[in-house]
């Protein structure tokens, strides 16, 4: 049985966010709690560059601009609630749920580079999250890699 393609897309976005977070001035946002149903899982990540552009996706666009605004005002990591149960009365999620997101304006670049190096060597990796997070560690597995040999229609 084949795995859900959305899981692979999600992993690719998370890897892209991790790679982008190696850049100085880039913040890293991680979903650390979900209340209700939501399209992403705990541990999903998004990188926000200094210019406000994003790499990855946490909410298909409904939350990214708010995260960029909020993380730019922080000097240390903080878990912020969005949607249901949030004190941000002017911002609601279309799904009606609630998200706890770790906003880290200056993640540990050495730890991120070590995780990226491990992934490039095709080894599993992990990133210890700041103590403010209820999720202590984010783990990563290398992207699926296929080596296909042969010829003919079956190979296509």
- Tens digits of residue pLDDT in 134-146: 999 999 999 887 7
With contact defined as beta carbons under 8 Å apart, do 59 and 39 qualify?
yes
Residue 137, exposed/middle/buried by CB under 10 A (0-12, 13-18, 19+)?
A: exposed
Question: Each residue of 78-131: pLDDT tens digit?
Answer: 999 998 888 876 677 777 788 999 999 999 999 999 999 999 999 999 999 999
Q: What are the domain boundaries of the chain?
A: 5-140
């Amino acid at each position: 049985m084949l795995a859900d393609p959305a899981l692979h897309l999600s992993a690719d976005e998370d890897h892209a966010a991790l790679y982008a977070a190696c850049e100085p001035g880039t913040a890293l946002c991680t979903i650390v709690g979900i209340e209700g149903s939501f399209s992403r899982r705990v541990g999903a990540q998004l990188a926000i560059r200094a210019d406000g552009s994003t790499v990855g996706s946490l909410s298909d666009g409904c939350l990214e601009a708010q995260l960029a605004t909020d993380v730019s005002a922080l000097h240390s990591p903080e878990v912020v609630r969005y949607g249901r149960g949030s004190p941000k009365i002017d911002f609601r999620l279309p799904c009606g749920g609630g998200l706890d997101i770790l906003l880290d304006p200056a993640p540990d670049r050495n730890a991120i580079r070590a995780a990226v190096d491990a992934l490039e060597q095709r080894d599993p990796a992990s990133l210890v999250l700041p103590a403010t997070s209820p999720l202590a560690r984010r783990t990563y597995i290398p992207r699926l890699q296929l080596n296909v040999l042969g010829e003919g229609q079956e190979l296509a």
